[in-house]
Structure 1
């Protein structure tokens, strides 16, 4: 069984805080790439839901893609 709440309780608030703080794309990518990796290691299974929330941020989309999560169009 996967970890469904990791997005709304961990990833999404961290990503939103980085955006709100005006973090550079490099900082967002580096921080969130590592966080995605860690959460996936803990069986995060709702990555796509979080990706959907941040599709307008190229650095975040790139971090997800680096970890194998992309949006099918």
Structure 2
């Protein structure tokens, strides 16, 4: 059984918080990359839902990509 609420409960609020705080791209990529890896270890299965919300932020897109998640073309 997947961890479908991980985006709404954990990833999305942290990503929005980093953006609102003005975090650098380096910080967003590092922090969110580690968060993504940890959520995937817990069977996160709605990664693309969260990625879709942040497609306009290259650092966040890179954080997903570094964990093997890319938006389908």
Q: TM-score, normalised by structure 2?
A: 0.99
Q: 2:68: which partner in 1?
A: 68
Q: Which runs of 5+ in 2 are unaligned?
A: none
Shift of 1:16: 0.2
- TM-aligned CA deviation for residue 15 of structure 1: 0.1
2:35 aligned residue: 35
Residue-by-residue CA offset, 1:16-48 (whole Å, 9 max, x unaligned): 000000000000000000000000000000000
Q: Cα distance, 1:58 vs. partner?
A: 0.2
- What is the match of residue 44 of structure 1? 44
Displacement over 2 Å in runs of 4+: none
Taking structure 1 as the reference length, the TM-score comes to 0.99
1:5 aligns with 2:20: no
For 2:55 and 2:10, the matched residues in 1 are separated by 18
Alignment partners' CA distance in 2, 1:8 and 1:55:
16
